[in-house]
Amino acid sequence: MKKNIIIGLLLLVIVGCSNEEISTASTEEENSLDWEISNEVEKTDSANLGEELLLKDLRINDSSAKVIEALGKPISQDELRKVESSNFKEIVYEQQYFLIKDDKVVGYAIKAPGLKTKSGIAINDTLNKLVNAYADRKVLKTDSTYYMYDENFILSFVVDDNVINQIGLFDLESYLNMSDWTIDDLLLQSEPIINERKRDKDNNELVDISEVINYFENVGYHIQVKNRMISDTIGAIYAYNVVVNNSEHEVEFYGFDPKNEDTITKESIEEAKKTGILNPHGVGIPVIFNGNIAIFIDEEHPDKNQIEKDFIEFNSLSN
């Protein structure tokens, strides 16, 4: 139960706003909200996470009355729960959701097109762009939410099918308090997202997964990232399961660090390049290498031969 509350705050409430039972009369009263848009992508100071997602007229710690004054009558305004001496409630608009604690704004989540963070990330941007934009931060993932935090704030991105569809900024203490979580509870449910582009600054031979995907899309394939997989077991820096041309048969990409000094990993890669079998710990994965990237293609994939041919011809991998 507790595990689902925090995701509900970021995702379920706004999704619920599209329900046909909601009166359209109330949404018509919602005023347009001018966003604080940054035209230049800039890296943010670690102490400034609270400045990443700014509304031009509203801020965290503003009163709930100011929200309603700025945006008009909400779709709903409901009591959520009482935690110790604090009352939490929500104020919901068609594409904005505000978390209120003791009549003060302690967070908001937005789905409005055109919204952009100070680091240049907008609704409908890709997950790869998000991770690269925040290369200087530790990005974590829990379920479909990617987030980063400092001592005061948590910035969250809800990602669906590799595309950002919601961005939120919350007061960290209130965010955790609302869900009866500690920061350790949250971290136990999370996994770090390794930024391949950041690693590439120190290693020119490592190719970012986005370059591989962009290459295949430019050649004419339809690529959809299905999920990121655990990569440590085969000694890879990253591993992705992707859908190619809408086939149910799997295709996977693995990226390896050529500077990895682990003996088992190095021997496994050398052997795989000769035999076509990646076998670091008895796993036995049939792969093709091109530089430091390997690809696995299900034998039943209808485009297997052409995918292999195009993968081998990707010059950026072997340079």
- Per-residue pLDDT tens digits for 136-164: 788 888 888 899 999 899 999 998 877 89
Of 28 and 265, the one with more pLDDT: 265
pLDDT score recorded for residue 37: 32
Q: How many CB atoms lie within 10 A of CB 33?
A: 17
pLDDT score recorded for residue 45: 42
pLDDT score recorded for residue 249: 94
pLDDT score recorded for residue 91: 93
Residue type at position 297: I
pLDDT in tens, 195-242: 544 444 444 456 677 788 888 888 889 988 878 887 777 888 888 899
Q: What percent of the chain has pLDDT over 90?
A: 31
Question: What are the DSSP calls for 2-56, one per residue?
Answer: HHHHHHIIIIIHHHHTT-TTS-HHHHHTPPP--B---SS--PPPGGGGGGSS-BS
Predicted TM-score (pTM) above 0.85? no
Residue type at position 136: D
pLDDT for residue 22 is more than 80: no
The mean pLDDT of the chain is 77
pLDDT for residue 44 is more than 90: no
What values do phi and psi take at 173, rounded to 5?
Answer: -60, -45
Select from 109, 148, 127 the least CA-distant residue to 16.
Answer: 109
Q: Which residues fall within 8 angstroms of residue 170, CB to CB, at 6 or more apart? A: 9, 60, 99, 106, 107, 108, 153, 154, 156
Average pLDDT on 95-119 reads 90
pLDDT score recorded for residue 189: 78
pLDDT for residue 23 is more than 80: no
What values do phi and psi take at 157, rounded to 5?
Answer: -135, 120
pLDDT band of 316, cuts 50, 70, 90: low
